[in-house]
Amino acid sequence: MDTTILVDKDKKDGRKLIEALDKSKFNLKGALWFYLGDSREWRLLLVSPLVDTAGPSSCYRVIQSVIEDMPRDFGISLERISVLSPKDNLIRLLKVAIHTGKGISTIRFRRNTINGVFIEDALIYRLG
């Protein structure tokens, strides 16, 4: 599979994971697919203040337990997910241009520059 293309299944599974995390009461402030040009891959970035308070490992454990309860055809592994603090520079930068609120959106943000930083491609579900 060409990793430079974000396929529909990844988009749908990303939304399903956000819904499941919301149901689990995981404090999810942001979620987006982000294209990493250097490695030519898409990563699902999940943003939570729990990264600062409980640590990334604790967040990954919760996410993994939610993934384990997903249907068999769910296609996102923990290896394709990164957890970030709301204080992360990339997240703060994206919030300059986009604010979605608490729902789940589908905003494509590609080939744009924010404050001099080029964003090659992103699919934003939530930034709040």
pLDDT in tens, 9-61: 999 999 999 999 999 999 999 999 999 989 999 999 999 999 999 999 999 99
pLDDT tens profile 91-120: 999 999 999 988 999 999 999 999 999 999
pTM of the predicted model as reported, rounded to 2 decimal places: 0.94
Do the beta carbons of residue 74 and residue 14 sit within 8 Å?
A: no
What one-character-per-residue DSSP string does 39-67 give? TTEEEEEEE-THHHHT-HHHHHHHHHHHH
- Please check the confidence at residue 1 and state whether its pLDDT lies above 50: no
